[in-house]
Structure 1
Amino acid sequence: MTTNNDMGLIALLPEIDEHAESAFVMHERSEKLIPLHTHKKGQLGFVEGGIAYITIQGKTYVVPARHYFWIPFGIPHILRIGHSGTVLRSIYFYTDDDDVDTFYGKLGIYPATELLIQMINHTERWDERHVIPTDYYFDFLVSIKKLLPQLNSSALPIVLPTSTDQRMLEVIRYLEDNLAEQITLKHISDRFYMSERSMSRIFQTQLHVSFLQYFKTLRMIKAIEMLLQSNVSITEIAFAVGYDTVGSFSNTFQTFTHSRPSDLRKNNALFFNKS
């Protein structure tokens, strides 16, 4: 078993893969960018008090507070923690049993149950350690990994594709600056002197989603950020991201996060009040 004192995740990245059969535990409070990296273990990450972003192959996955993510082994990714008060609780798992369920082979973001939250928080006592099969509490970590496929059947659609195409970037910037407006495909096509068919084709070829799906996702991600990083009222947030009523905003938000906006904010506030 290896123990380190407050070295931080970036410093410990090389150590994660030292013992193939172990589960490596890492809890860290920070606001930082963890550059492109990979590891030979699957990563369970739970976000408390803020928001995190995972970038993989031109897509950015948004992980709100009280949600967890799974990254399969061997996938290069960038991890950004977006708030200084955010705690990222990670367990890097052995992979010898990954073939027992398709869950372990797919990247996904999921809402965390109270049971899973308590179990993950309990692992902080083994922070910055390799827990190996001969440790008597290894079975506790095994039970966490085995529980994951039973909790959620499908990942949340909180993912925003990106592009390096200059024309597409200009369209994206315009959308980001006008989230409150009722922008249609015709509106955006006229704004950039293109036919609706051509604009639709650009979204499909560059981002692999429709214009409507992209704009809706962009709005929801902005709403998540405002809920977790500001004191703006939920009504104001709804209007700021283009919804005429709080009810329609709340329903769409729940579809994306499996949580009502008020619940996400309340739970996030409770975390900071306890910290």
Structure 2
Amino acid sequence: MTGEKYYITDVDKKEDSIYCYHNQMGEKFIPSHHHKKGQFLYTEGGVVFVKTQEKSYFLPARHYMWIAPGVEHSIHPSSPEVIMRNLYFPIYATDDAFYFNTSIHPVNDLLLELMLFTHRWTGHIDPQDRTAYTIVDAFKVLLPQISNFSLPLSLPLAKNKRLKEVTVYLEENLGKDFLFNDLATGFGFSPRSLSRLFQKDLGMSFIQYLTALRMLKALQLLLEKSLSINEVASKVGYSSLPTFSNTFQKIIGVRPSEYIKMNMMSGRDNS
């Protein structure tokens, strides 16, 4: 089954089926596409960036992403060896509001066990297949009930061309100590106009954007690199380890050391 057939054509061939697909990526990225069904996406063996027209999402270990029906998105894994576990569900107007919003959530043990149980199935599961369909449909029904905590692991994409240049510069120089006034002047803005542009275009302040960007990069480094927490803090612009740890906990919900342990446990669970 080719990537194009799977990602763009096959999922929506049957309106009422639930579609299962577990496979190694084998590709550097999946180009922009959409489907009528809602998508449950879980990955193993690396991290994945998912880009929509409005945001860039970071999907780390031991978390899943729910992609709402009809949302245009592309998928960018950290390596072609990443394993993707996908379940696609038909969504109806009477379904819970949860299914109509794209979001990232931690995976608990119950969800992990149910997902591992679906490994035996590939392709369409029709309602007529009572046993399999009942199990995967129960998986769908459970999601809103056990996913009441979502992680802010996304950043809005700048629409303004000049602001996009600023955000690219920030991403490529996260280890630096940025002075906002100098940054604004360097890109031909007054501090006031750049501050307004961040709020208008991205819906957040410069500090909020920079902090979120630093935390997303820190997550990536903690997962992919053999760096100490202190080294990660330095690479994303924090000279104080307590400040980095406190900020990480505020945004991600756990301290960096706890997050590393969660990732190690996830690796053992999936081995």
TM-score (norm 2): 0.89
- 1:224 maps to 219
Residue aligning to 2:124 = 130
Distance in 2, matches of 1:41 and 1:64, equals 23
SS of the equivalent of 2:238 reads coil
Does 2:168 align with 1:196?
Answer: no
Contact conserved, 1:65 with 1:264, CA < 8 A, in 2? no
2:57 is equivalent to residue 52 of structure 1? no
User: Aligned partners of 1:257, 1:155: CA distance in 2, in Å?
Assistant: 10
Distance 2:24 2:267 in 1: 12
Counterparts of 2:246 and 2:139, CA distance in 1: 31
User: What displacement does 1:23 show?
Assistant: 0.7
| Equivalence for 1:177 | 172
What code does the residue aligned with 2:189 have? M
| Correspondence for 1:245 | 240
The alignment covers a number of residue pairs equal to 267
**Maintained 8 Å contact 1:26/1:89:** yes
CA contact (8 A) 1:46 1:90 kept: yes
- The 8 Å contact of residues 44 and 92 in structure 1, kept in 2 or not, is answered as yes
Q: CA deviation at 1:269?
A: 4.3
Flag structure 1 segments of 5+ consecutive residues without an equivalent.
Answer: 1-6
Query: 1:11 aligns to what?
Result: 5
- For residues 41-190 of structure 1, what are the structure 2 equivalents within 5 Å? 41-96=37-92, 99-126=94-121, 128-135=122-129, 136-163=131-158, 165-190=160-185
3-state SS of the aligned residue for 2:21? strand
Q: Match for 1:42: what amino acid?
A: G
Change (3 A) 1:179 1:219: same
C-alpha displacement at 1:164, in angstroms?
5.0
Question: Is 2:33 the counterpart of 1:37?
Answer: yes
CA distance in 1, matches of 2:167, 2:230: 25
Letter in 2 for 1:119: L
Q: Distance in 2 between matches of 1:225 and 1:11?
A: 30
Which residue does 1:236 correspond to in 2?
A: 231
Runs of 4+ off more than 6 Å: none
**251 and 205 in structure 1: CA distance in 2 versus 1, 3 angstrom threshold:** same
The equivalent residue for 1:256 is 251
How many Å separate the matches in 2 of 1:8 and 1:149? 32
CA distance change for structure 1 residues 19 and 100 in 2, over 3 Å: closer, same or farther?
same
Greater mean deviation of Cα atoms: 261-270 or 12-21: 261-270
Distance in 2, Cα, partners of 1:197 & 1:93 = 46
Summarize the Cα distance change of 1:259–1:130 in structure 2 as closer, same or farther, 3 Å threshold: farther
Aligned sequence identity (%): 38
Tell me the SS of whatever aligns to 2:257: helix
Query: SS at the partner of 2:104?
Result: strand
Cα RMSD, aligned residues only? 2.2
